[in-house]
């Protein structure tokens, strides 16, 4: 497992371009299975999860070619097949092939989808939604076979606004007969991006971004060209890095309207920032790291537009240096505090009570050898290392590679001193000699 060596205590300063959104590009790659045409996807981040999703598509005979951050997907030979369960098991998002394959071929086989160990992550909401359209679900030894004689539109009520279930339903209903109305839909910006892509293919989806989405089924969908939205979680992670390390960070392409809950929390913590809402060329967020320690906060994670669970570990790292006692309650996943023990090794004072973390701010964190326990926890450990005094080693950085494009490289361009060491301790992309 590779690791990052971080010399902490340095101010961050400068400008960085936000990459395309992981949680938008993954469903959009899956949605390309809805057509037998060719799709061109722009602003694609180079992430391990993207590479895995592309290998799932290739298992289904999609021909993939890259040109810098642009993907060309030739879907003319797509046929239903059972992708290699080992590949499916690498990421949770592989379950997103379910909707498009069901919509196009009326059958799909998915594995017991993998991903970070932040919770049990069942599929019951996906299945309940698709069964309304006429799908039948057969459990297999390691996964599920889902099929339908025909898919007919209907009224679907999600018991919880599941992002993935909303996405699978949108994709299947796009090729169903008649109209589908989805109630209690997820309202995340990534849903809006997916609907935008399907509509560019000739789909008829309205209401995406609200909790009631209407999908008029069509007979077929064509190829399309589409540009992925900027990553709001990468944006939030770099904002918290700026808040913890001082200095002025200019995040080009960041969409303030996608980060309202986080910006509100940062404002309450005494962090100042400015922003511009515009098209991808004009929009930005600029943060001026707080002079002193951040003020304490009471935060509960929630579905969008509430405080995002994917920003919870990063905020906990910031609040471990706050001026008082903060409380963070996690309401989306049942196992998303595994990073707390790693932060405590660095001197943080945190107690877990049920699904809440009670954080008593300390004046400093000290460098230590710690582990990334999942994707966002890994990012939080890097932020803690940047703010800590001394050297921090973050093990298992492969987790971070799943969701951040060149994370260490971007931070080093902003003044951080991070060195990547391979399994043999050889340096990769270090600024200073270790
Ligand atoms: C998406 O996961 C994101 N992943 C997650 O980001 C994100 O944390 C999550 O939405 C919530 O915003 C991608 O988009 C690839 P859910 P998803 O279905 O779709 C339960 C990251 O770090 N649930 O909204 O899997 C589930 O167990 C990742 O980028 C059921 O009970 O999330 C969880 O507790 C982590 N039954 C809650 O709902 C179901 O059938 C939210 O899950 C489906 C979900």
Which residue has its alpha carbon closest to ligand 1 atom 10?
163
Ligand 1 center–CA 305 separation, angstroms: 15
Rounded Cα gap, residues 223 and 155, in angstroms: 28
Q: Which of 280, 210, 259, 229 is nearest to 27 (CA)?
A: 229
**For residue 332, which atom of ligand 1 is closest to its CA?**
34
Q: Rounded distance, CA 61 to CA 80, Å?
A: 9
Structure tokens that stand for 103 in this block: 């919509």
Counting atoms of ligand 1 from 1, which one is nearest the CA of 125?
40
pLDDT of residue 109: 92
β-sheet bridge partners, residue 143 = 140
Closest CA to 71 of 36, 17, 25: 25
- Whole-prediction pTM: 0.96
Pocket test for ligand 1, best of 21, 164, 305 (most atoms within 8 A of CB): 164
Task: List, by residue number, the catalytic residues.
Answer: 116
Residue 92 phi, psi dihedral angles, 5° rounding: -65, -35
Q: Is the CB of 24 under 6 A from ligand 1?
A: no
Return the ligand 1 atom nearest residue 233 CA.
29
**CA-nearest residue, atom 6 of ligand 1:** 310
Residue pLDDT, tens place only, 192-211: 999 999 999 999 999 999 99
- Ligand 1: which residue has its CA nearest to atom 22? 310
Ligand 1 atom with least separation from CA of 161:
24
- Stated as kind and residue range, the H or E segment containing 130 is helix 124-132
Nearest partner of 31 among 104, 109, 121, 122, judged by Cα: 104
The per-residue pLDDT for 289 is 67
Closest alpha carbon to 76 in 220, 203, 198? 220
DSSP 232: H
What whole-number distance in Å separates Cα of residue 228 and Cα of residue 258?
14
Query: What spacing in Å lies between the alpha carbon of 224 and ligand 1's midpoint?
Result: 27
Rounded to the nearest whole angstrom, what is the distance from the C-alpha of residue 118 to the centroid of ligand 1?
Answer: 10
Which of 128, 130, 101, 83 has the alpha carbon at shortest distance from 31? 101
What backbone torsions phi and psi does residue 242 show, to the nearest 5 degrees?
Answer: -65, -40
Measuring from atom 28 of ligand 1, which residue has the nearest CA?
310
Whether the CB-CB separation of 54 and 48 falls below 8 Å is answered with no
pLDDT at 422: 85
Q: Cα of 92 to ligand 1 centre, how many Å?
A: 9
- The whole-number pLDDT of residue 278 equals 84
- Which residues are CB-neighbours of 86 under 8 A, at least 6 positions away? none
pLDDT reported for residue 434? 43
The residue nearest atom 4 of ligand 1, judged by CA position, is 23
User: Which strands, in side-by-side order, build the sheet including 325-329?
Assistant: 298-300, 325-329, 356-360, 349-353
Residues 95, 113: Cα–Cα separation, whole Å: 6
Kindly give the parts of the chain with pLDDT less than 50: 433-434
Task: Give the up-direction half-sphere exposure of residue 190: CA atoms within 13 A in the CB hemisphere.
Answer: 25
> What is the torsional sign of CA 215, 100, 192, 184?
positive
Q: Is 165 in the pocket of ligand 1 (CB under 6 A)?
A: yes
Atom 16 in ligand 1: which residue has the minimum CA distance?
A: 162
Please indicate whether residue 43, judged by its CB atom, sits closer than 6 Å to ligand 1. Answer: no
Of 198, 171, 6, 173, nearest to 98 (Cα)?
Answer: 171
Ligand 1 and 164: CB distance under 6 A: yes
Is 375's C-beta closer than 6 angstroms to any atom of ligand 1? yes
Give the separation between CA 212 and CA 248, rounded to whole angstroms.
Answer: 40
CB atoms inside a 10 Å sphere around CB 22: 26
User: Is beta strand 248-252 parallel, antiparallel or unpaired with respect to 284-288?
Assistant: antiparallel
Distance from C-alpha of 227 to C-alpha of 43, rounded to nearest angstrom: 6
Q: Would you say the CB of residue 52 lies under 6 angstroms from ligand 1? A: no
Q: Rounded to whole angstroms, what are the CA distances from 101 to 72, 108, 110?
A: 19, 5, 10
DSSP conformational letter for 352: E
Torsion of CA 196, 197, 203, 206, to 10 degrees: -20
Token pair listed for 81: 């097949």
Give the ligand 1 atom nearest the CA of 188. Answer: 12
Give yes or no for residue 266 CB within 6 A of ligand 1. Answer: no
């Amino acid at each position: 497992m590779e690791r990052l060596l971080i010399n902490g205590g340095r101010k961050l300063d400068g400008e960085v371009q936000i990459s395309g959104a992981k949680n938008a590009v993954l469903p959009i790659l899956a949605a390309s299975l809805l057509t037998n045409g060719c799709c061109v996807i722009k602003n694609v981040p180079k992430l391990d999860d993207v590479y895995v999703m592309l290998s799932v598509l290739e298992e289904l005979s999609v021909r993939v070619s890259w040109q810098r951050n642009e993907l060309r997907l030739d879907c003319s030979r797509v046929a239903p097949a059972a992708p290699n369960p080992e590949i499916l098991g690498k990421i949770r998002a592989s379950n997103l092939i379910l909707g498009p394959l069901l919509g196009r071929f009326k059958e799909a086989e998915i594995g017991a989808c993998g991903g970070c160990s932040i919770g049990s992550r069942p599929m019951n909401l996906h299945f309940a939604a698709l069964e309304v359209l006429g799908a039948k679900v057969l459990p297999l030894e390691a996964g599920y076979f889902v099929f339908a004689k025909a898919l007919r539109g209907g009224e679907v009520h999600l018991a919880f606004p599941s992002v993935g279930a909303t996405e699978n339903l949108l994709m299947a209903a796009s090729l169903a007969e008649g109209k589908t109305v989805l109630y209690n839909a997820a309202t995340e910006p990534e849903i809006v991006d997916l609907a935008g892509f399907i509509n560019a293919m000739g789909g008829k989806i309205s209401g995406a971004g609200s909790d009631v989405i209407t999908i008029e089924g069509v007979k077929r969908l064509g190829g399309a060209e589409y540009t992925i939205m900027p990553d709001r979680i990468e944006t939030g992670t770099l904002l918290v890095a700026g808040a913890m390390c001082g200095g002025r960070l200019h995040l080009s392409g960041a969409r303030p309207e996608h980060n309202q809950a986080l910006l509100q929390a940062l404002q309450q913590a005494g962090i100042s920032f400015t922003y511009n809402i515009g098209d991808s060329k004009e929009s930005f967020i600029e943060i001026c790291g707080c002079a002193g320690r951040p003020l304490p906060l009471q935060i509960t994670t929630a579905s969008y537009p509430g405080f995002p669970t994917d920003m919870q570990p990063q905020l906990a790292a910031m609040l471990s240096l706050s001026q008082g006692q903060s409380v963070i309650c996690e309401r989306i996943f049942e196992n998303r505090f595994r990073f707390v023990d790693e932060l405590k090794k660095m001197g943080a004072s945190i107690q877990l009570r049920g699904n809440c973390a009670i954080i008593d701010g300390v004046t400093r964190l000290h460098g230590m050898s710690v582990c990334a326990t999942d994707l966002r926890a890994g990012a939080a450990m890097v932020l803690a290392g940047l703010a800590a005094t001394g050297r921090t080693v973050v093990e298992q950085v492969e987790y971070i590679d799943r969701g951040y494009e060149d994370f260490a490289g971007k931070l080093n361009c902003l003044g951080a001193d991070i060195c990547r060491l391979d399994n043999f301790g050889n340096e990769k992309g270090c600024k200073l000699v270790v």
